[in-house]
Chains A and B, each alone.
Chain A
Amino acid sequence: MSMSVDTLETVRAATGDGYKYGFVTDIEADEAPPGLNEDTVRFISAKKGEPAWLLEWRIKAFRRWETMTAPNWSKLAIAPIDYQGSTYYSAPKQGPKSLDEVDPELLKTYEKLGIPLGERAALAGIAVDAVFDSVSVATTFKDTLADMGIIFCSFGEAVREHPDLIKKYLGSVVPPGDNFFSALNSAVFSDGSFAYIPPGVRCPMELSTYFRINAAKSGQFERTLLIADKGAYVSYLEGCTAPQRDEHQLHAAVVELIALEDAEIKYSTVQNWYPGDAEGRGGIYNFVTKRGACRGDRAKIAWTQVETGSAITWKYPSCLLEGDNSVGEFYSVAITNNRQQADTGTKMIHLGRNTRSTVVSKGISAGRGQNTYRGLVKVMPKADGARNYTQCDSLLIGKSCGAHTVPYIDVRTPTARVEHEATTSKISEDQLLYCQQRGLTQEEAVSLIVNGFCKDVLKELPMEFAVEAQKLLAVSLEGSVG
C-alpha cells in the first residue's frame, strides 16, 4: 500500500528531470585498445589472469563469431555497429579487497543510485555483488552464505576458486555458437556473477547484482552463471541503471541458469539502461541471451523482467524443460517510449514429460515506441502431457506507437495442450477522466492504470524490486500523454 505514494512522488520528482541516473563517474579506466581480433581476446584473458583452458574456450568462440553475421530477422531498426571501433575491456585500475579500499568516487556513485552496500545492504537484507564496468568491486554477505555452502562471487573469482564448476557448466545452456551475440560475449566477456547453491539448501536472501555501464565506448559483456543443485532454491535479482551517453553502447550479456532435480531458480530483472534522448540518440543496445535449463525432474525456473530502458532491447529469457514435470515461467513487462524499440519474449522448450510453462507478457507502447512480443512454445515428441499457457497483452498510449505479437507454436506430440491469449487495448479517455475526476493528475492517472495493467507481472517480483519497478514505470512513461 505504501507504493502508491512512492509512485506518485516519483512522477512529481521526475518531472522535467530527464534521465534520473544520467551522471558519469570520473574513474581512470584501464582499457583494451579499440578493435577486436585474437589479440584482444588474449589481452582480456591475460588481464584477468585466466587459465589456458578458458583462453582456448574464448578463442574458439571468437573464431566461431568471425564466421557469423548479426541477426536481422527481428523488427528492430538497428544502426550498423562498428565492432572494430569498440573497446572490449575496461576496469578500475586498483583491485580493492574490501569496502574500505573501494574508490570513494565509486561509493558516491552507488549512493546516488541508492544501491544498498555494506550496512545498507545488511539492513535491506540483500547481498550485493556490484559490477562496476567490468570488474566486480565488492561482494557482501559472502561469509553468511559461505557458512551454508553457497558460493556467490564474481565470475572471475569463480574461475580461480571453482574451476571445476565453471568447466562443467559454462556454455552448457548457451553454447558459444548459439547466436552472434552469445559468440561475441563468449570471446570477450569481462566479468559477471556466479552462484552455486548446494543440494537441499534454500538461499536465505535475495542475491542481487547491480550493473552499471560507465567508461565511454566500453561495450559491456557480462557473464552470469547460476546453479541450483538438487532441491536447492535461490532468488536472484538483477537491476541496471546507466549514465547518460551520446553514442550507442552495446550490451551483450549471457545468463545461464541450471536447475537440477527439485531445484528452483527465480530470476528477476529490472532493466533501466539509458534509452537515448527523445529522438533515440545515445541509448544502450541491449542484446542479451538468457536461458535456463531444468536439468532434473520437478525443477523450476521462473524469469520475471521489467524492461523500461535501452534504445533497443533484444532479449528472450528461455527455459529448456528437460526433466519430467519441470516448470518454466516467464513474466514480462516491457515499456517502449519515445523512439525505443523492444523485441522480447521467451522460448519454452518442452522436452520432458508433463512439463508445464506459463508466459505472461505485458507490453506498453508510448510515444513512437515499437514493442514486439516474440515467443516460441516448442513441444518435442517425448514431452507427453506437456502444457503451456501464454497470455500477451498490449497497451497503447498515443497514436504513433506500435505493438506486435509474434507467437511461434511448434507442437510435436498429440497429448500436449497449448493455449495462447492475446489482447490489445488503449488507455481510454474515460479511464483518464474517471481518475482525474477523483483528483489524480493525468500522469498519476496513467501511472495508476499502467501499474494495474502490469499487476500480474509485478506481483511476481520480490517486494523491494516491485517498489523500484513501479517507480520506473511511472518515470518511463512521463510525458507520454497529452
Chain B
Amino acid sequence: MTAILEIDNLHARLVGGREIVKGVSLVVNPGEVHAIMGPNGAGKSTLSSVLVGKPGYEVTQGSVTYMGRDLLALAADERARAGVFLAFQYPVEIPGVNNMYFLRAALNAVRRGRGEPELDAAQCLKAVKAKLKLLDIGDDLLKRSVNVGFSGGEKKRNEIFQMAMLEPNLAILDETDSGLDIDALRAVSNGVNQLRDPNRAIVMITHYQRLLDYIEPDFVHVLSEGRIVASGDKTMAAELEQSGYAAFGKAA
C-alpha cells in the first residue's frame, strides 16, 4: 500500500528566520485519521503552511512525498489540483465573489487536474445539493460572498463543505475547532466524519483535545518545539489532557 503522505525529517522556517519545524517524520496511509497536537509555537501552523506551499516559508532539510510524488516541487495550486486540501484556520473573505461561483471555479479546476470534464452550472448545482444533503447543512451560505460576514461557525462549515465537494485525497484540518461553540463543533465534526473514506487521509492539527471527542483519530502525535515527541492511539489524547503538554515536552 502506498502512503498518501510521507514526511521525512522535515526542517522548515520562515524565509530568513529561525528554524521552526526541526525534523518531523510522519507516515499517513489511506483511510487513516491522524491528529497532530501541540501547544502554541510548537510548529503546527508552519507544518501545515509548508504542506500546502504557502509563500514565505522554506524547507531547509528533509522531504515530503505525496502519493509517490515530491510534494515540495509543486506550486500551491498544483498541490490543490493533485488532491491536497487545507481547511483554513482563518478562511479569508473575498468580497463580491459569490460562494457558489467560487465553489464551481474550484471544483472545475480540481476536476481539470484529475482529467475529468468540467461541470456546467446546472450539473454543479446538482452535485452541491447532493452534498448538502449528505452533510445536513442548508444552502444559505452559497448565495453570499465567499466568507464575507460569515460567523466563525459558518466559515468552518463552509470549509468542510468545500472539502466535501472537492473530494481530496489528503485533507489537512487546521485548528478546525477554534472559535466554534459546541453546536457548531458538532455540526462540523459530523461533516468530517461523513467524509472519512478508505481512500482518503485526514490530518487534524489542533491545540485542544475536545475536537478528538467528536472526530476519533486513529493516531495521535504530540508536536513540541518543532519535533514529534510522542505518538500513540487516541487514548494518548486523554492522557495529554490530564498531564499537559509540558510532560511530553520534557520526555523528548
Query: Separation in Å of the B160 CB from the closest CB of chain A?
Result: 14
Query: Separation in Å of the A384 CB from the closest CB of chain B?
Result: 36
Cβ-defined contact, A440 with B96, below 8 A: no
Closest B residue to A428 by beta carbon equals: B92
CA distance A429 to B92 in the complex (A): 10
Given contacts A4-B104, A452-B145, contact A439 B94 (CB under 8 A): no
**A98 at interface by CB-CB < 8 Å:** no
Tally of chain B residues near chain A (CB < 8 A): 39
Looking at B74-82, B182-190, B199-207, the stretch in contact with chain A turns out to be: B74-82
Looking at B1-9, B106-114, B126-134, the stretch in contact with chain A turns out to be: B106-114
The one of A435, A436, A445, A453 that contacts B95, using a Cβ cutoff of 8 Å: A453
Cβ-defined contact, A439 with B113, below 8 A: yes
Closest B residue to A449 by beta carbon equals: B94
Given contacts A433-B55, A438-B109, contact A454 B96 (CB under 8 A): yes
Closest B residue to A4 by beta carbon equals: B105
Cβ-defined contact, B96 with A444, below 8 A: no
Mask, B88-106, CB within 8 Å of A = 1, is 1011101111001110111
Mask, A419-454, CB within 8 Å of B = 1, is 000000000111101111111111011001101111
Closest B residue to A455 by beta carbon equals: B96
Closest A residue to B83 by beta carbon equals: A439
Mask, B165-209, CB within 8 Å of A = 1, is 010000000000000000000000000000000000000000000
Query: Separation in Å of the B82 CB from the closest CB of chain A?
Result: 9
Cβ-defined contact, B76 with A436, below 8 A: yes
**B54 at interface by CB-CB < 8 Å:** yes
Q: What chain B residues lie within 8 Å of A452 (beta carbons)?
A: 94-97, 145-146
Mask, B120-163, CB within 8 Å of A = 1, is 11000000000000000000000001100000000000000010
Cβ-defined contact, B81 with A439, below 8 A: yes
Q: What chain A residues lie within 8 Å of B76 (beta carbons)?
A: 433, 436-437
Cβ-defined contact, B94 with A431, below 8 A: yes
Q: What chain A residues lie within 8 Å of B54 (beta carbons)?
A: 433
28 chain-A/chain-B pairs, Cβ below 8 angstroms:
A5-B108, A429-B55, A429-B56, A430-B92, A433-B54, A433-B92, A435-B94, A436-B53, A436-B80, A437-B52, A437-B79, A437-B85, A437-B86, A438-B102, A438-B166, A439-B80, A439-B113, A440-B109, A441-B109, A445-B77, A448-B105, A451-B96, A452-B95, A452-B96, A452-B97, A454-B96, A455-B97, A456-B96
Q: Which residues of A contact B (CB under 8 A)?
A: 1-2, 4-5, 8, 428-431, 433-442, 444-445, 448-449, 451-456
Q: Top 4 A-B pairs ranked by shortest CB distance?
A: A452-B96, A439-B109, A452-B97, A455-B96
